[in-house]
């Protein structure tokens, strides 16, 4: 019986995903009507389509990362940023911006490359700090991540204060933005991260379910818990890093979407993961469309849009959870 | 000639009559009457462009303090620093300035704070070539270099007048690469480009954030890159199909020629006029 809602959800969400990306190509097309045909196609295929796809993929990555961490930490308030990944990425990217680094690494823009390095270092650091005698208690991992996040956040603040000429780039990055003159280049970064991390998550989806019973029970049921944690931490961090390193800190998507998806199809990660990925993509694409429709001239930072809508939802979840207790 | 005479007469009657610590009242660009020790021996400038203007009118020696961003003329870099965009009041107090010179970019709150501590604050408001010239005259008068202020202002006016505009071409001024930002015609930078004949594809003021799509849609005939990023443009969406790119009319200009409301802006104006005169290859 459980399969039916998830199949129905998939049957609904896949066309919806195609629909919102198509909508994002059409949205605001009033300016396109008067243009010569070749310019119109340039805008559609080289700018709007990749932008819509980028928004979708970034939302999907954040959703995947969020659901992975919520399962791993067994904590409803975990999101892609909990293990310090985002602050690490922020420190890397802001450092690259402030230092004015210009050279591209493996074809990546300096803030993106440095963001990746920062995210990876933060995740491994959190894991290393939390590791005691070959075991990594998730609570310690959570706290270590939070400490590393605070530290990196403080460093970011200092960097911002040190350097004002590039502050607008820093602020845009910290607020998260989909708008970029070259969206395909970002798509190319996000795609491999999402595919790799989502594959790992799907492979371990069953183990994630077992993990919900608690680590000891999972161990008794034959799950290699410590190895599972490494893979899930790595996958969640990779998905978040791909999104954050390219488009900056887009908050709340990774927190909200797993909860919405759980309401749709229940807690089974085999269904929950693909639904979250789709729903995350749809949500962020819609947020991007909303941002463009509300403010056609001035590109609204999408992180501000998601936080604006996400914060009330966060409060709602908090209220519901406390009501249950 | 009459101005010069007036100036000589003024010098003649003012100098012997004034005791060394005499003060004089000036009306600044805000319309405020500012009482200043005349001639001021210790001037602190809290804006890079006002530092430059002070040197332009020959008051460089009297400049006692500048900001860490004041890098023009090169001598300005050797002056003691009183902070960056924020004034460090301890350093300011140590310099005991006769007058603090600022510009429109200082907020009302910051101005009130400086005045609240008892400093004479003199503001110039250069937002256009006319106002740059006016600022030179004001600062010349304030610092006791009236003739040099007048000379600098007249020289600027003559340069601006001599520019032959080639009107008609549409232009996109890229002010910042990330986030993508432009400058509209309502600024001195935009004004320089407009006077040279460029038709800005954007309206409005400073550092407006824009979406690349709008540049693609409006397809400018000329692109002026007024920042330091020199590479990475080819991968932008639709770049090679833009008219300006096809016609090789993307220009990487020195941002220093456009960024400051000082006589250097005339360099930008002349450069832009040269650019707009060029024929498509």
Count CA within 13 A, CB hemisphere, residue A307: 12
Residues of chain A with pLDDT under 50: 1-3, 324-325
**Interface membership of A5 toward B (CB under 8 Å):** no
- For B174, residues 6+ apart whose C-beta sits below 8 A from its C-beta are B180, B181, B182, B223, B224, B225, B226, B227
Q: From the list B176, B217, B236, which residue is nearest A31 (CB)?
A: B217
Q: Is B131 exposed, middle or buried (0-12, 13-18, 19+ CB in 10 A)?
A: middle
Query: Residue A79 falls within a domain, yes or no?
Result: yes
Query: Residue A1 falls within a domain, yes or no?
Result: no
CB contact under 8 A, A172 and B178: yes
**Does B106 have pLDDT greater than 70?**
yes
Domain that holds residue A252: 6-324
Query: Residue A253 falls within a domain, yes or no?
Result: yes
**Does B234 have pLDDT greater than 70?**
yes
Band of the pLDDT at B3, cuts 50, 70, 90?
low
CB contact under 8 A, B179 and A102: no
State ipTM: 0.83
Phi-psi region of A165 (alpha: psi -120 to 50; beta: other; left: phi over 0): alpha
Q: Is A105 exposed, middle or buried (0-12, 13-18, 19+ CB in 10 A)?
A: middle
Q: Side by side, which strands form the sheet with B43-45?
A: B63-65, B43-45, B99-103, B121-124
Which residues of chain A does B237 touch, with a Cβ-Cβ cutoff of 8 Å? 42-43, 46-47, 50, 181-184
| pLDDT value for B12 | 45
**Interface membership of A47 toward B (CB under 8 Å):** yes
Query: How many domains are there within chain A?
Result: 1
Count CA within 13 A, CB hemisphere, residue A170: 23
CA distance A286 to A60: 12
CB contact under 8 A, A185 and B214: no
| pLDDT value for B160 | 94
Q: What is the pLDDT of residues B198-210, one digit of tens each?
A: 999 998 767 678 8
**Does B233 have pLDDT greater than 50?**
yes
Band of the pLDDT at B17, cuts 50, 70, 90?
very low
CB contact under 8 A, A298 and B207: no
CB contact under 8 A, B176 and A50: no
Query: Residue A251 falls within a domain, yes or no?
Result: yes
Strand partners, B36: B24
CB contact under 8 A, B213 and A172: no
Q: What is the mean pLDDT of residues B191-216?
A: 87
Global confidence as pTM: 0.84
Q: What is the pLDDT of residues B59-97, one digit of tens each?
A: 999 999 999 889 989 999 999 888 887 888 898 899 999
Position with higher pLDDT, B152 vs A5: B152
Query: Residue A101 falls within a domain, yes or no?
Result: yes
Q: What's the Cα-to-Cα distance from A116 to each of A90, A101, B19, rounded to whole Å?
A: 9, 15, 67
**Does B130 have pLDDT greater than 60?**
yes
Query: Residue A22 falls within a domain, yes or no?
Result: yes
Which residues of chain A does B212 touch, with a Cβ-Cβ cutoff of 8 Å? 47, 179-181
Q: What is the pLDDT of residues B32-62, one digit of tens each?
A: 888 888 889 999 999 999 999 999 999 999 9
Per-residue buried b or exposed e for B166-193, using 16+ beta carbons within 10 Å of the residue's own CB: beebbbbbbbbbbbbbbbbbbbbbbbbb
Query: Residue A206 falls within a domain, yes or no?
Result: yes
Position with higher pLDDT, A51 vs B231: A51
- For A122, residues 6+ apart whose C-beta sits below 8 A from its C-beta are A83, A84, A85, A87, A88, A89, A91, A145, A148, A149, A152, A237
Band of the pLDDT at B223, cuts 50, 70, 90?
very high
Query: Residue A212 falls within a domain, yes or no?
Result: yes
Mean pLDDT, rounded, of chain B: 87
CATH of the domain at A50: 1.10.3470.10
The alpha-carbon gap from B246 to the nearest alpha carbon of chain A, in Å, equals 13
| pLDDT value for A2 | 45
């Amino acid at each position: 019986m459980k399969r039916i809602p998830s199949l129905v959800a998939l049957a609904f969400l896949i066309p919806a995903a195609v629909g919102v990306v198509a909508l994002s190509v059409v949205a605001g097309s009033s300016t396109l009507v008067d243009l010569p045909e070749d310019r119109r196609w340039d805008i559609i295929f080289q700018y709007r389509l990749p932008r819509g796809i980028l928004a979708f993929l970034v939302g999907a990555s954040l959703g995947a990362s969020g659901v992975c961490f919520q399962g791993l930490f067994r904590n409803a308030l975990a999101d892609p940023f909990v293990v310090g990944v985002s602050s690490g990425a922020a420190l890397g990217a802001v450092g690259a911006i402030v230092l004015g680094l210009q050279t591209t690494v493996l074809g990546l823009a300096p803030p993106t490359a440095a963001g990746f390095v920062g995210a990876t270092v933060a995740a491994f650091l959190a894991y290393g700090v939390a590791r005691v005698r070959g075991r990594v208690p998730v609570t310690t991992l959570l706290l270590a991540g939070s400490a590393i996040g605070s530290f990196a956040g403080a460093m970011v603040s200092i960097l911002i204060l040190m350097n004002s000429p590039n502050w607008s780039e820093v602020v845009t990055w910290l607020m998260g933005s989909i708008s970029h003159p070259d969206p395909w280049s970002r798509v190319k970064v996000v795609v491999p991260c999402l595919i790799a991390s989502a594959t790992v998550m799907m492979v371990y989806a069953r183990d994630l379910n077992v993990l919900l019973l608690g680590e000891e029970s999972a161990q008794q049921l034959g799950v290699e818990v410590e190895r599972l944690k490494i893979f899930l931490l790595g996958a969640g961090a990779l998905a978040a890093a791909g999104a954050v390193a390219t488009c900056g800190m887009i908050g709340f998507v990774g927190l909200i979407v797993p909860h919405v998806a759980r309401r749709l199809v229940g807690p089974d990660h085999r269904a929950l993961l693909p639904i979250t990925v789709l729903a995350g993509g749809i949500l962020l694409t819609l947020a991007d469309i909303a941002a463009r429709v509300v403010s056609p001239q001035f590109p609204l930072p999408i992180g501000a849009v998601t936080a604006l809508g996400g914060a009330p939802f966060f409060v709602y979840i908090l209220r519901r959870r406390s009501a249950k207790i | 000639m009459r101005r010069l005479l007036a100036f000589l007469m003024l010098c003649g009657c003012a100098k012997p009559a004034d005791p060394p610590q005499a003060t004089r009242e000036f009306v600044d660009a805000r319309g405020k009457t500012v009482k200043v020790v005349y001639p001021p021996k210790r001037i602190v400038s809290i804006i890079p462009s006002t530092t430059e203007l002070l040197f332009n009118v020959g008051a460089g020696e009297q400049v006692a303090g500048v900001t860490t961003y004041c890098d023009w003329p090169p001598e300005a870099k050797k002056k003691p620093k009183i902070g960056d965009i924020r004034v460090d009041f301890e350093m300011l107090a140590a310099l005991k300035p006769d007058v603090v010179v600022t510009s429109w970019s200082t907020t009302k709150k910051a101005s009130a704070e400086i005045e609240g501590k008892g400093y004479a604050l003199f503001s110039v408001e250069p937002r256009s070539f006319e106002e740059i010239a006016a600022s030179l005259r004001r600062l010349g008068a304030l610092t006791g270099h009236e003739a040099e202020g007048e000379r600098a202002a007249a020289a600027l006016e003559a340069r601006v007048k001599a520019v032959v505009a080639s009107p008609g071409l549409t232009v996109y001024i890229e002010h910042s690469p990330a986030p993508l930002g432009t400058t509209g015609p309502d600024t001195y930078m935009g004004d320089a480009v407009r006077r040279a004949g460029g038709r800005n594809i954007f309206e409005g003021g400073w550092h407006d954030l824009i979406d690349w799509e709008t540049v693609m849609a409006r397809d400018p005939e000329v692109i002026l890159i007024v920042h330091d990023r020199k590479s990475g443009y080819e991968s932008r969406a639709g770049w090679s199909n833009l008219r300006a790119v096809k016609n090789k009319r993307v220009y990487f200009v020195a941002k220093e020629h456009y960024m400051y409301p000082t006589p250097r802006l005339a360099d930008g104006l002349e450069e832009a006029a040269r650019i707009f005169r060029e024929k498509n290859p």
